[in-house]
Structure 1
Amino acid sequence: MQHGRPDQTALGQMLGGALHALGSPPFVPALAALLGALVPADDVMMVLYRRGQAPELLHDLSTGRESATNLALYLKGAYLLDPFYRAFADGVAPGCYRLHQLAPTAFRGSEYFRLHYARTGFRDEIGFLLTPAPACCVHLSLARRTARARFSAAEHRRLLDFEPVLRELVARHWAPAPVAVPPPLTTQLDSALRLFGRDFLTEREAEVLQLLLRGHSTKSIAERLGISPETVKLHRKHSYAKLDVSSQAELFHLFIDALGSRGSYRGGDPLTGYLTRAGAA
C-alpha cells in the first residue's frame, strides 16, 4: 500500500462532494470518503459526542459479528474510558491528535485496551475532535490495522494542515441543528464513572479505581494523587476486597455491567443500584 501524497484531482472531487452534501444524509459518507482520500486508512469511524449523553455512531467501516459485538461493548459504556472521549469530557482543546498523545501511560496494559481496543486490530489511530456547537463534539477517527504501516509524521502533518477545512465542514453541517437539552437520565452518564464505587469505598480508593479503569499505571496514579506507589497498591487491594473482585479484568466487567443497567439509573453510584437489583433477582 502506497502512503504518498493524495491525488489532488481526486481530493478536489471528494471535497466538492462533501460540500454538495452539506445538510443532508449523504454528507457523512462523503466526509468519510474525503478523509480516506487525505490519508489511506483501514477504518474510518465518526462518533458524535454530546456532553452527558451516550455517543451516537455516525459512520464505521468495520464489519463482521466480532466488530458488531465490540462496538456494542463500546456504546454500552466502555466509551467512557476511550482516550478520545476522555479528552472531550475533560475539556482538551479541539484538534487532530495521535492516540498516544491522549492515552495514559499504561493504556496498553488496561482492561479497556485488552477487552475492547485490542480486538479492533488497530495498530495506529489518529483522530479529530471538532466542536460544531457547545457541549458537542464530532470525533473523526482514522485507523490502521496490524498488517498496515503506522501513520507517518508527514501524514499527520497533512491531516493537521487540512483540519481548518474539516472544522468548517463539520460546523456547517452540525451547528445549525440545535443541541437538545439531554433528559435527566443521560446527563449523569459521565458522573456514573466519577461516582463508580463511591458508596462502598473511601474517596481515595474510588479515585484510584477510576484512574485504574482509565489505564493509568501505579506510578502515574501516585504522581497524580500525590501519594506513594505503595499506597496506591494498598488502596487497590482494599478496593478489590470491598467490591469482591480479584483483578482489573473483573473490575472492568463490573463497571460495564453496572453501566449496562443504567436504564433505571437516577444518579449517584451506579454500582449501588446494580448490586441491589442483582441481589433481588
Structure 2
Amino acid sequence: MKSTLIASGLPLATVNAAIGEAARLVGTSDFYAALLAAFRSLVSHDIATMVRYSAVGRPSFLMHHGFSDALARQYETTFHVFDPFHRYWAQTERPGVVSLDMFPATATRQSRYVREFLQESSITDELGYFLPAMGRASVALFLERRIGRFLESERAAMEDFYPLFAGLESAHVNAVLAAAIGRGAGGVSLPLAIMLRDLEGCVIHASEAWRDLESRNTNLRRAVERLTAENAGEAVLDDATVLHRTRISPAHSSAPEGWLFTVEKSASSSTDYDQAIISELNPTLTPREIDIVKLVLEGHPTATIAQRLKLQRGTVKNHRLRIYEKLDITSERELFLTYIQALQRHRANG
C-alpha cells in the first residue's frame, strides 16, 4: 500500500472512501461514475477515460475527464482503427493492467494513433485497466498524462488494486443482469436461457442453456430476428415457452442499451416439474427435500414454501442448504439448470 500512497499523493482513507462509494453503488446507474472516481484516486494524472472495448465491434467512450467530446468522437470514427489497446483486446481478450509501453515502438510510437491522435490530445503516456469481460466486451479505465511518463512504482500501485476493481465490476454486472431477468424478485420464475446483444447486434453473452436450446430449436433464432426486426417484446416458441426481449440498462456497460433475450415458461403452460426426475438429481434427496425442490422450481419464495408445507422458515432454509450441498450448487438458477439438464437426458433416453 505504500506505493499506492506515493503514487496518488492522497491519504489511504480518501482512496478507501472512493472505493467504498463505488461498492455502495453496485447495481445502480451511478456505479461507473463512482468507479472512475475511485480509479482516479490511485495515481496522479491529467486525463481519465472509460472506454468499452469489444472483440467484435468498435470501441466507444463511456465517460471522460479532461478530454473533449470532439476528440472522443474523432477517436470513435477514425483513430480507433490504429489504437494498440483496441488491437490488444481484439486479439487477446485478456483483462488486467495495461500500459502504452507494452507495445513495440514500430507498432505504436510511429503509428497514426501516436503521431496524430495522442499528439492532438496532448497525451504522452497511458496506463489502465481492462476489467473482466462480459461476453467479448470489457469496460476499460485509463489514466493519461500530458507531461512525462508513468513510473514503475505507479504501475505497481495499479497492480495492487486491480483485483478490487475487477471484483467490483463483476459484482455490478451480476447485479444488473439479475435485475434484468427478474431474479431479485421473490416468486419470479427463472428464465430457461438467456442471451445478450449489444447495440451493434453482436452477441456478447449466451448461456450454455441458450446455446443448447438454439442448436435443438430452429425457431429460436428466427424468433430472435423477428422480434428485432419488428421491435417487439415477446414471441411464443411453443405451448410451454415464450421468448422475451428487454432493453438493457445503460448501467450495464458491457452492452449499454443493448438487448436481453430470455426464454421462459409460458404463463399458460401446464408444464409440471416431475418429482421422479427431481429424485434422480441425487438418490439421497428425502421426500421432504423433493417437495421443496419442486416448490423452488415453481418460483415460490421461502416464506410461501414454509406456509404450504407447514414448516418454520428456518427449517426450509436449512433444507435448502442441504439440497444445495447434495447437488453441489449454490443458487436457484443452478438448481433450475440442473433440473433442465436432467429433463433433457430423460427425454434423450426415451
TM class by shorter chain equals 0.5 to 0.7
Partner of 1:57: 61
Which amino acid letter does the alignment assign opposite residue 108 of structure 1?
Answer: R
Partner of 1:23: 27
Partner of 2:207: none
Residues 1:91 and 1:122: Cα distance change in structure 2 (over 3 Å): same
Residues 1:44 and 1:175: Cα distance change in structure 2 (over 3 Å): farther
Deviations 1:199-239 (A, max 9, x none): xxxxxxxxxxxxxxxxxxxxxxxxxxxxxxxxxxxxxxxxx
Deviations 1:34-73 (A, max 9, x none): 112111111111111233233232210134xxx3332212
Partner of 1:213: none
How far apart are residue 163 of structure 1 and its match? 0.5
Which amino acid letter does the alignment assign opposite residue 167 of structure 2?
Answer: E
Partner of 1:257: none
Q: Contact 2:55 / 2:93 at 8 angstroms: preserved in 1? A: no
How far apart are residue 5 of structure 1 and its match? 4.8
- Structure 1 gaps of 5+ residues are 188-281
CA distance in 1, matches of 2:104, 2:170: 26
3-state SS in 1 of match to 2:196: coil
3-state SS in 1 of match to 2:109: helix
Q: Contact 2:47 / 2:64 at 8 angstroms: preserved in 1? A: yes
Counting only pairs closer than 5 Å after superposition, residues 196-215 of structure 1 correspond to structure 2 as none
CA distance in 2, matches of 1:164, 1:136: 18
Partner of 1:114: 115
CA distance in 1, matches of 2:77, 2:174: 26
Aligned partner of 1:181 among 193, 197, 217: 197
Partner of 1:250: none
Counting only pairs closer than 5 Å after superposition, residues 1-281 of structure 1 correspond to structure 2 as 3=7, 5-63=9-67, 67-102=68-103, 105-146=106-147, 149-177=148-176, 180-182=196-198, 187=202
3-state SS in 2 of match to 1:14: helix
Q: Contact 2:26 / 2:175 at 8 angstroms: preserved in 1? A: no
Residues 1:41 and 1:4: Cα distance change in structure 2 (over 3 Å): closer
How far apart are residue 3 of structure 1 and its match? 4.4
Residues 1:182 and 1:120: Cα distance change in structure 2 (over 3 Å): same
CA distance in 1, matches of 2:30, 2:72: 23
Q: Contact 2:54 / 2:136 at 8 angstroms: preserved in 1? A: yes
Residues 1:104 and 1:130: Cα distance change in structure 2 (over 3 Å): farther
CA distance in 2, matches of 1:151, 1:181: 37
CA distance in 2, matches of 1:89, 1:106: 15
Between structure 1 and structure 2, the one with the greater Rg is: 2
CA distance in 2, matches of 1:4, 1:172: 25
Residues 1:132 and 1:111: Cα distance change in structure 2 (over 3 Å): closer
CA distance in 2, matches of 1:85, 1:177: 25
CA distance in 1, matches of 2:104, 2:51: 18
Which amino acid letter does the alignment assign opposite residue 169 of structure 1?
Answer: L
Deviations 1:70-98 (A, max 9, x none): 22121114213211111110015211011
Measured on the aligned residues, the alpha-carbon RMSD in Å equals: 2.5
Percent identity of the aligned residues?
27
CA distance in 1, matches of 2:117, 2:144: 15
CA distance in 2, matches of 1:182, 1:18: 24
Residues 1:60 and 1:132: Cα distance change in structure 2 (over 3 Å): same
Query: Which gives a bigger RCO, structure 1 or 2 (Cα 8 Å, sep 6+)?
Result: 1
3-state SS in 2 of match to 1:33: helix
**Alignment size in residue pairs:** 181
Residues 1:152 and 1:78: Cα distance change in structure 2 (over 3 Å): same
Q: Contact 2:53 / 2:59 at 8 angstroms: preserved in 1? A: yes
Q: Contact 1:52 / 1:186 at 8 angstroms: preserved in 2? A: no
Tell me the TM-score normalized by structure 1.
0.58
- Structure 2 gaps of 5+ residues are 1-5, 178-194, 203-350
3-state SS in 2 of match to 1:108: coil
Q: Contact 2:96 / 2:130 at 8 angstroms: preserved in 1? A: yes
Tell me the TM-score normalized by structure 2.
0.47
3-state SS in 2 of match to 1:117: helix
3-state SS in 2 of match to 1:131: coil
Residues 1:59 and 1:22: Cα distance change in structure 2 (over 3 Å): same
